[in-house]
Amino acid sequence: MLKPFLTAALIMLLPLSGVVAAEKGHDHSHGTAEKGKHGGIVQDVAGVEAELVITTGTIAVYLSDHSAVPVSPEGAMASVLLTQGTSRVGTIALKPVGDRLEGKGEVPAGADIVLSLRTKDGKTGQAKYELGGHSH
């Protein structure tokens, strides 16, 4: 009588094993992101490497190809979406300034950033920079 009960319980719990496996696959490697030559976090977006550098009052993105050769920001367009958990905190437009894309604004403590980029070649993409504003 106990064996059929255990078999039924096991069959009911089997689909949950996929959820556990999927959660284990979620990347929590904070702090192990690639660092760029300007001290920022590097992500692949729209076919280029985008290095996010945050200073007081300024957000900058330096572009380079996959062999670390700088790419001119001229003709590129970008914006960043600031989030805290699932809440949107604000958006900042980035414009070409010298060798980078740059925007003025403060990043709230614990916020994450989603970069949206369109290169001068028309390629588009997004990348999320986890700075500590998400929760599990």
Q: Which CATH class is domain 41-129?
A: mainly beta
Distance CA 65, CA 62 (A): 10
Within 8 A by CB and 6+ apart from 132, the residues are: 30, 110, 111, 112
How many Cβ atoms from other residues are within 10 Å of residue 102's Cβ? Answer: 21
Q: What is the mean pLDDT of residues 65-89?
A: 95
- Identity of the amino acid at 84: Q
Alpha carbon 64 to its chain centroid, in Å, reads 17
Q: What are the tokens at 88?
A: 């949107």
Task: Specify the DSSP element, H or E, that contains 13.
Answer: helix 2-25
pTM of the model: 0.73
- Identity of the amino acid at 134: H
Q: Which residue has the higher pLDDT, 110 or 129?
A: 129
Q: Contact 73/115 with Cβ under 8 angstroms?
A: no
Domain boundaries, the chain: 41-129
Q: What is the mean pLDDT of residues 22-27?
A: 35
Closest among 78, 82, 18 to 48, alpha carbons compared: 78
CA-CA-CA-CA torsion sign (102, 108, 109, 114) = negative
133 pLDDT higher than 60:
no
Pairing of strands 87-97, 124-129: unpaired
Q: What is the mean pLDDT of residues 22-35?
A: 45
Q: Which residue has the higher pLDDT, 135 or 127?
A: 127
Q: What are the tokens at 87?
A: 């809440």
